[in-house]
């Protein structure tokens, strides 16, 4: 996400208007998970605004609409997929991944539906697939068949690490909601293609996340050394400290692998200007 009212003072600065947030976000971070498309397809004017607010080195990872993935379970939705891809056309060159998030009900018996559906995409489109059915995490025939197909097609298997949020005490609405909605599945840190995506669902207290991130420091560095381009998406239950957590984890990763420095948060620049006067 790039729009959060609680980031106004800490990340964006008090003078930032809502329609300026994406541009300022893209001046610091390199990618964003476009979760908004899961709930509703944006109109053409919104797409143009997103394009104008970002640059050619920035990458969106847009989720497919839930009508396609959850309601129709990938069946009979060729027209809907075509319409969605068409309206997103101005951003095609800035898509890091088209992400297919599947419901827990989508099991091994539906694998052929997934294969047929993915064949509808242009071959050059990068695809990431997130499964949630327990059978895909048992290291048995179902998981081996899925992984073998992903590797063959060069599709990325999206990796969910929800361990941190499930260690939090359910003492507020945000944590209770997150623990209810986020899948509690094993972490299988497998790169099936060139752009492995990790969705890290953090603890609301920043310091409670770092022990969970230690193994990712090595894994991400290994992937980079192999020439892969990983995507790391940082969330927390309320997302209030997500920018700070993301920046600090990035700095830790810089100790393992050569990465460009992140720019300062826009609010930091504003505060420095205030101090000067």
- Write the pLDDT tens digit of every residue in 158-215: 999 999 999 999 999 999 999 999 999 999 999 999 999 999 999 999 999 999 999 9
Q: Residue 38: pLDDT above 70?
A: yes
Nearest 10 degrees: CA dihedral of 181, 129, 119, 140?
Answer: -100
Verify that 153 and 184 share a domain, yes or no. Answer: no
Task: For the chain, give the percent of residues with pLDDT over 70.
Answer: 97
Note whether residue 2 is domain-resident: no
Both tokens assigned to 262 = 């992140």
- How many independent structural domains does the chain possess? 2
Reported as a pLDDT band with limits 50, 70 and 90, residue 1 is confident
Task: For the chain, give the percent of residues with pLDDT over 90.
Answer: 93
The burial of 51, by beta-carbon neighbours within 10 Å (0-12 exposed, 13-18 middle, 19 or more buried), is given as middle
Reported as a pLDDT band with limits 50, 70 and 90, residue 34 is confident
Distance between CA atoms of 107 and 102, rounded to whole angstroms? Answer: 9
Return the pLDDT at 276. Answer: 31
Verify that 34 and 152 share a domain, yes or no. Answer: yes
Q: What are phi and psi of 106, to 5 degrees?
A: -85, 95
Verify that 152 and 54 share a domain, yes or no. Answer: yes
pLDDT digits (tens, 9 = 90+) for 103-120: 999 999 999 999 999 999
Q: What are phi and psi of 187, to 5 degrees?
A: -90, 110
Q: Residue 47: pLDDT above 80?
A: yes
Both tokens assigned to 209 = 């996340």
Verify that 72 and 122 share a domain, yes or no. Answer: yes
| Domain end position, chosen among 125, 157, 189 | 157
The larger pLDDT score, comparing residue 151 to residue 4, is at 151
Instruction: Please state, as a whole number, how many other Cβ atoms lie within 10 Å of the Cβ of residue 84.
Output: 19
Query: Scanning the structure block, which residue is given the tokens 């393992």?
Result: 256
Verify that 125 and 79 share a domain, yes or no. Answer: yes
Residue 4 CB contacts under 8 Å (≥ 6 apart), including other chains = 239, 240, 242
Return the pLDDT at 277. Answer: 32
Residue 53's domain spans which residues? Answer: 29-157
Q: Residue 76: pLDDT above 80?
A: yes
Give pTM, 2 decimals.
0.92
Distance between CA atoms of 264 and 277, rounded to whole angstroms? Answer: 20
Distance between CA atoms of 236 and 206, rounded to whole angstroms? Answer: 9
Verify that 42 and 63 share a domain, yes or no. Answer: yes
Reported as a pLDDT band with limits 50, 70 and 90, residue 269 is low
Question: What is the overall mean pLDDT for the chain?
Answer: 94
Note whether residue 15 is domain-resident: no
Q: Residue 7: pLDDT above 50?
A: yes
pLDDT digits (tens, 9 = 90+) for 207-246: 999 999 999 999 999 999 999 999 999 999 999 999 999 9
Reported as a pLDDT band with limits 50, 70 and 90, residue 101 is very high
């Amino acid at each position: 996400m790039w729009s959060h009212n609680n980031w106004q003072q800490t990340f964006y600065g008090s003078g930032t208007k809502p329609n300026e947030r994406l541009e300022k976000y893209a001046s610091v971070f390199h990618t964003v998970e476009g979760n908004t498309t899961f709930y509703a397809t944006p109109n053409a004017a919104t797409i143009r605004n997103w394009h104008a607010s970002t640059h050619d080195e920035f990458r969106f990872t847009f989720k497919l609409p839930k009508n396609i993935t959850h309601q129709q379970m990938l069946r009979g939705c060729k027209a809907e997929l075509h319409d969605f891809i068409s309206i997103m056309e101005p951003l095609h060159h800035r898509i890091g991944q088209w992400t297919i998030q599947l419901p827990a009900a989508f099991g091994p018996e539906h694998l052929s539906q997934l294969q047929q559906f993915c064949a509808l995409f242009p071959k050059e489109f990068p695809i990431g697939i997130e499964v949630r059915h327990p059978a895909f995490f048992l290291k048995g025939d179902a998981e081996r068949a899925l992984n073998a197909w992903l590797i063959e097609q060069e599709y990325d298997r999206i990796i969910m690490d929800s361990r941190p949020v499930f260690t939090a005490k359910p003492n507020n609405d945000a944590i209770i909601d997150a623990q209810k909605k986020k899948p509690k599945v094993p972490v299988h840190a497998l790169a099936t293609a060139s752009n492995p995506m990790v969705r890290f669902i953090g603890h609301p207290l920043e310091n409670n996340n770092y022990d969970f991130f230690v193994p990712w420091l090595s894994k991400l560095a290994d992937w980079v050394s192999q020439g892969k381009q990983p995507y790391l998406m940082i969330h927390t239950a309320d997302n209030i400290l997500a920018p700070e957590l993301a920046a600090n984890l990035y700095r830790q990763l810089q100790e393992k692998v050569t990465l460009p420095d992140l720019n300062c948060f826009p609010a930091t620049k504003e505060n420095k200007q205030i101090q000067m006067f």
